[in-house]
């Protein structure tokens, strides 16, 4: 630090600068002073703990430069400003490797010596707040134009610099350029500056540990990370770097679907196209803007990681939006801009700020509204993306009563169609119940495997009964949730019971054997002897579809409890319940052959009918979707015996 003997140190930062005579002295006048006692212990905190990332300094200094330009624009509306012809507003960042200096320069409002002491030396004052108080009544002024202020944000520069120099020339035509210089201690110097035109130049002499910020690519990356959407050109060594166009600040009515898709690709370049979007634009009860996108979900949803970026007046603040976005909505991507949010926002601030909770509630409402809007206006497009967003919508409904109430009208289900037609058809639960009124009152049939349950689906279809597809991992929970929400409604998987609608009540199997036993009794005994398991219940029924020899039934509630238990434990393998029912289809030709009278069962395991019964049983288990390793082994052994009878 340059020392000047003729200047006496003072003990306070509130020093009134001497009025400089019109005649410029040969040697620049320098005033040395100290920061106030209150701030002496703050600087180490700023340098080490105020910000979790040291690169934040660039965001703070450029934000201040932007504020200075906004102030100048507003002042020029009512005052005659210096260099009024200089309207090519921009923020310039220059790298001087030879001197290890990083320079940030603007052509904004500038400062005189008093303002420098007030806004820099005395960090208790806020330049932006004072400015808004002075000009908020002026014509054309707006309260939302100031990001930060010369204060704590400015002092973040000492995280990376050994020395900071501010050279500024005020907008007032009678003002003189003033320079402020400090090495990060409590002392500073104020002297005549070198600027010839209105604005401010901040020169950082970087310390040895932070010479990385002399790399142009590094600075370019930081500008794009923090300041990409700031509505002001930011040039690094003369080349414009930032995008500037913040799509979320524009009126939704002025934008097209293509605009949103291009913006999404810019934010997330490797994730394809979004499913659709929600544009937030709120003035009351709190200012809020943003765009949230529904991405194409992968196989795994990380509900602990937010994908939404938080901005303050187009300046990036944080990507820790977990408290702004409810956990069940963290699959969303995009931007939320809150102009009242401080730049040095912390997680604790987000967790404890009442307005943040209100914003979260509003975001939930807007997402629900957008779902309803898309469903009503573009039903075919909505149906095409439903499979991708369904798990997210269901999870959100189960976690938020209000979300369910607001979005339930856009909850749809795909209907099962074994014909594999090109386009799937969908229905709401209300429409499903109206269609089937009088047939299956308040009962909803569903399938989770179109192939293995196709027989049951087709039999119901022939009776005019539709089957819904619920094949997501979450659906066991969701079906139970809907049963609680819709009083009287029950969800029944097609393989959990035999509906009267799939029975052929006219069919008759009344064959009697030599021992007097009828065909039904004969069949039950055959399967009981073939499969030694007293936990199996055997039923003989005549199904409408004669191609199915037998089917396994698993009670709905028992199977659901097992599925939910496995899901909660993180298990994936389905354990086939010991207790279940085997329905033997008496209309099937093979079963009818097995039921013929006069055939003894005394030949044991070598009896062909026993081999056939074992084969039928395990094929039914596999068709039900619950095949385990032991089932496959049993089926293989049975198949080998069948092959043996061919030769």
Task: Output the DSSP codes for 73-89.
Answer: HHHTTTS--TTTT----
90 and 227 belong to one structural domain: yes
Closest alpha carbon to 494 in 442, 453, 452: 453
CA distance 406 to 370: 10
Query: Tokens 């009896």 map to which residue?
Result: 607
pLDDT of 92 over the 90 cut: yes
Q: Token digits for 541?
A: 């029924």
Q: What is the pLDDT of residue 7?
A: 36
Q: What is the pLDDT of residue 597?
A: 59
The mean pLDDT of 172-184, rounded to a whole number, is: 92
120 and 199 belong to one structural domain: yes
CA distance 28 to 25: 7
The mean pLDDT of 472-484, rounded to a whole number, is: 89
- pLDDT interval class at 151 (50, 70, 90): low
pLDDT of 24 over the 60 cut: no
440 and 570 belong to one structural domain: no
In this structure, what are the phi and psi dihedrals at residue 556, rounded to the nearest 5 degrees? -55, -55
In this structure, what are the phi and psi dihedrals at residue 440, rounded to the nearest 5 degrees? -130, 75
200: domain CATH number is 3.30.565.10
207 and 254 belong to one structural domain: no
Q: What is the pLDDT of residue 16?
A: 39
Q: What percent of the chain has pLDDT over 90?
A: 38
pLDDT of 124 over the 70 cut: no
Closest alpha carbon to 168 in 157, 160, 178: 178
Residue pair 322/336 in contact by the 8 Å Cβ criterion: no
CA dihedral 351, 354, 360, 366 (to 10 degrees): -170
Mean pLDDT of the chain: 80
Element at 459 (helix H, strand E): helix 454-462
Give the domain range for residue 261: 247-365
pLDDT of 241 over the 90 cut: yes
Which of 34-48, 336-350, 410-424 is predicted most confidently? 410-424
CA distance 468 to 96: 68
Element at 385 (helix H, strand E): helix 379-399
Is 34 a domain residue?
yes
pLDDT of 20 over the 60 cut: no
What are the residues whose beta carbons fall under 8 Å from the beta carbon of 629, sequence distance 6 or more? none
Residue where a domain stops, chosen among 240, 275, 299: 240
- How many domains are there within the chain? 4
Q: Which residues are bridge partners to 288 per DSSP?
A: 282
Is 10 a domain residue?
no
201 and 60 belong to one structural domain: yes
The mean pLDDT of 603-615, rounded to a whole number, is: 72
The mean pLDDT of 99-104, rounded to a whole number, is: 98
pLDDT of 260 over the 50 cut: yes
Residue pair 324/307 in contact by the 8 Å Cβ criterion: no
427: domain CATH number is 3.40.50.11260
632: domain CATH number is 1.20.120.790
The mean pLDDT of 108-118, rounded to a whole number, is: 90
The mean pLDDT of 88-110, rounded to a whole number, is: 97
Q: What is the pLDDT of residue 51?
A: 54
Residue where a domain stops, chosen among 177, 208, 240: 240
The mean pLDDT of 610-634, rounded to a whole number, is: 76
pLDDT of 18 over the 50 cut: no
Q: Which of 282-286, 442-446, 464-468, 559-563 has the lowest mean pLDDT?
A: 559-563
Angle at 219 between CA 213 and CA 220, to 5 degrees: 160
325 and 271 belong to one structural domain: yes
Q: What is the pLDDT of residue 160?
A: 92
Burial track 157-194 (b if 16+ CB lie within 10 A, e otherwise): bbbbbebbbbbbbbbbeebebbbbbbebeeebbbbbbe
Which of 133-137, 243-247, 294-298, 308-312 is predicted most confidently? 243-247
Is 197 a domain residue?
yes
497 vs 12: which has the higher pLDDT: 497
Q: Which of 58-62, 187-191, 630-634 has the lowest mean pLDDT?
A: 630-634
pLDDT of 14 over the 60 cut: no
The mean pLDDT of 127-155, rounded to a whole number, is: 51
Is 377 a domain residue?
no
- pLDDT interval class at 233 (50, 70, 90): very high
CA distance 333 to 226: 17
- pLDDT interval class at 254 (50, 70, 90): very high
Q: Token digits for 525?
A: 């005994």
The mean pLDDT of 123-127, rounded to a whole number, is: 41
Q: What does the pLDDT look like over 490-533, one tens digit per residue?
A: 998 887 777 777 777 666 655 545 454 677 888 888 888 888 78
Closest alpha carbon to 122 in 9, 40, 50: 40
Angle at 564 between CA 560 and CA 569, to 5 degrees: 150
Q: What is the pLDDT of residue 554?
A: 77
The mean pLDDT of 409-428, rounded to a whole number, is: 86
533 vs 349: which has the higher pLDDT: 533
Decide: residue 205, CB within 10 A, 0-12 exposed, 13-18 middle, 19+ buried. middle
Residue where a domain stops, chosen among 189, 214, 240: 240
312: domain CATH number is 3.30.230.80
Is 372 a domain residue?
no
121 and 154 belong to one structural domain: yes
pLDDT of 68 over the 90 cut: yes
Q: What is the pLDDT of residue 122?
A: 66
Q: Which of 137-146, 219-228, 416-425, 581-590 has the lowest mean pLDDT?
A: 137-146
pLDDT of 383 over the 70 cut: yes
Is 584 a domain residue?
yes
Q: Which of 83-87, 288-292, 315-319 has the lowest mean pLDDT?
A: 315-319
pLDDT of 205 over the 50 cut: yes
pTM reported for the whole predicted model: 0.74
Q: What is the pLDDT of residue 21?
A: 44
287 and 418 belong to one structural domain: no
The mean pLDDT of 38-62, rounded to a whole number, is: 68
177 and 260 belong to one structural domain: no
Q: What is the pLDDT of residue 440?
A: 84
Q: What is the pLDDT of residue 272?
A: 83
Q: What is the pLDDT of residue 245?
A: 92
Q: Which of 203-212, 360-369, 425-434 has the lowest mean pLDDT?
A: 360-369
Angle at 236 between CA 235 and CA 239, to 5 degrees: 65
What are the residues whose beta carbons fall under 8 Å from the beta carbon of 615, sequence distance 6 or more? 635, 638, 639, 642
CA distance 590 to 548: 10
548 and 593 belong to one structural domain: yes
Q: What is the pLDDT of residue 35?
A: 60
Handedness of CA 52, 55, 59, 62 (dihedral sign): positive
Closest alpha carbon to 374 in 275, 478, 250, 247: 275
Q: Token digits for 221?
A: 């990356």
The mean pLDDT of 367-390, rounded to a whole number, is: 92
- pLDDT interval class at 76 (50, 70, 90): very high
Query: Tokens 């939320």 map to which residue?
Result: 336
554 and 491 belong to one structural domain: no
142 and 235 belong to one structural domain: yes
Q: Which of 497-501, 549-553, 583-587 has the lowest mean pLDDT?
A: 497-501
Is 395 a domain residue?
no
Is 388 a domain residue?
no
């Amino acid at each position: 630090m340059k020392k000047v003997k003729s200047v006496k140190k003072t003990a306070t930062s509130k020093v009134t600068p001497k009025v400089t005579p019109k005649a410029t002295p040969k040697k620049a006048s320098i005033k040395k002073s100290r920061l106030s006692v209150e701030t002496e212990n703050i600087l180490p905190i700023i340098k080490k703990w105020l910000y979790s990332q040291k690169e934040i300094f660039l965001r703070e200094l450029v934000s201040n430069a932007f504020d200075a330009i906004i102030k100048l624009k507003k002042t020029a509306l009512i005052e005659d400003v210096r260099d009024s012809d200089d309207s090519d507003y921009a923020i310039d960042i220059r790298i001087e490797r030879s001197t290890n200096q990083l320079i940030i320069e603007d052509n904004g409002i500038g400062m005189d010596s008093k303002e420098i002491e007030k806004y820099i030396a005395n960090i208790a004052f806020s330049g932006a707040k004072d400015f808004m108080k002075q000009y908020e009544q002026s014509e054309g002024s707006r309260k939302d134009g100031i990001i930060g202020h010369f204060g704590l944000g400015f002092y973040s520069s000492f995280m990376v610099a050994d020395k900071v120099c501010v050279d500024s020339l005020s907008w007032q035509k009678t003002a003189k350029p003033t320079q402020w210089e400090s090495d990060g201690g409590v002392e500073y110097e104020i002297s005549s500056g070198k600027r010839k035109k209105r604005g401010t130049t901040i020169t950082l002499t970087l310390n040895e540990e932070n010479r990385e910020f002399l790399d142009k690519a590094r600075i370019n990356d930081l500008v794009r990370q923090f300041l990409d959407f700031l509505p002001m050109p930011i040039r690094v060594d003369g080349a414009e770097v930032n995008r500037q166009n913040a799509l979320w600040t524009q009126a939704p009515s002025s934008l097209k679907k293509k605009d949103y898709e291009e913006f999404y690709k810019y934010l997330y370049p490797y994730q394809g196209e979004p499913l659709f979007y929600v544009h937030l634009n709120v003035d009351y009860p709190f200012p809020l803007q943003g765009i949230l996108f529904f991405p194409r979900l992968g196989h795994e949803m990380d509900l602990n990681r937010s994908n939404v970026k938080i901005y303050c007046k187009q300046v990036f603040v944080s990507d820790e939006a977990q408290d702004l976005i409810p956990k069940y909505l963290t699959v969303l991507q995009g931007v939320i801009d809150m102009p009242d949010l401080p730049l040095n926002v912390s997680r604790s601030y987000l967790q404890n700020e009442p307005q943040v909770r209100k914003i979260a509630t509003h975001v939930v409402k807007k997402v629900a509204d957008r779902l309803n809007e898309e469903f009503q206006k573009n039903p075919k497009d909505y149906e095409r993306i439903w499979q991708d967003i369904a798990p997210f919508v269901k999870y959100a409904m189960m976690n938020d009563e209000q979300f369910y109430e607001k979005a339930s009208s856009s909850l749809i289900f795909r209907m099962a169609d074994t014909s594999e037609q090109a386009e799937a058809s969908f229905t709401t639960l209300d429409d499903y119940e109206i269609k089937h009124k009088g047939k299956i009152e308040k009962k909803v049939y569903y399938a989770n495997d179109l192939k293995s349950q196709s027989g049951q689906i087709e039999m119901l279809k022939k009776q005019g009964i539709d089957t819904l597809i619920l094949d997501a991992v979450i659906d066991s929970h969701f079906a139970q949730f809907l049963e609680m929400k819709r009083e009287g409604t029950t969800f029944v998987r097609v393989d959990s019971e035999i509906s009267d609608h799939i029975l052929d009540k006219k069919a008759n199997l009344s064959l009697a054997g030599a021992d007097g036993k009828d065909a039904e009794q004969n069949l039950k005994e055959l399967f009981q002897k073939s499969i030694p398991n007293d936990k199996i219940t055997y039923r003989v029924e005549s199904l409408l579809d004669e191609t199915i020899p037998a089917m396994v039934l698993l009670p709905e509630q028992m199977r659901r409890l097992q599925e939910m238990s496995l899901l909660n434990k993180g298990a994936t393998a389905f354990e086939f319940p010991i207790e279940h029912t085997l329905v033997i289809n008496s209309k099937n030709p093979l079963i009818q052959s097995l039921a013929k009278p006069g055939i003894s069962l005394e030949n044991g395991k070598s009896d062909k009918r026993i081999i056939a019964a074992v084969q039928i049983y395990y094929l039914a288990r596999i068709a039900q979707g619950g095949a385990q390793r032991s089932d496959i082994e049993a089926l293989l052994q049975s198949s080998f015996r069948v092959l043996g009878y061919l030769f």
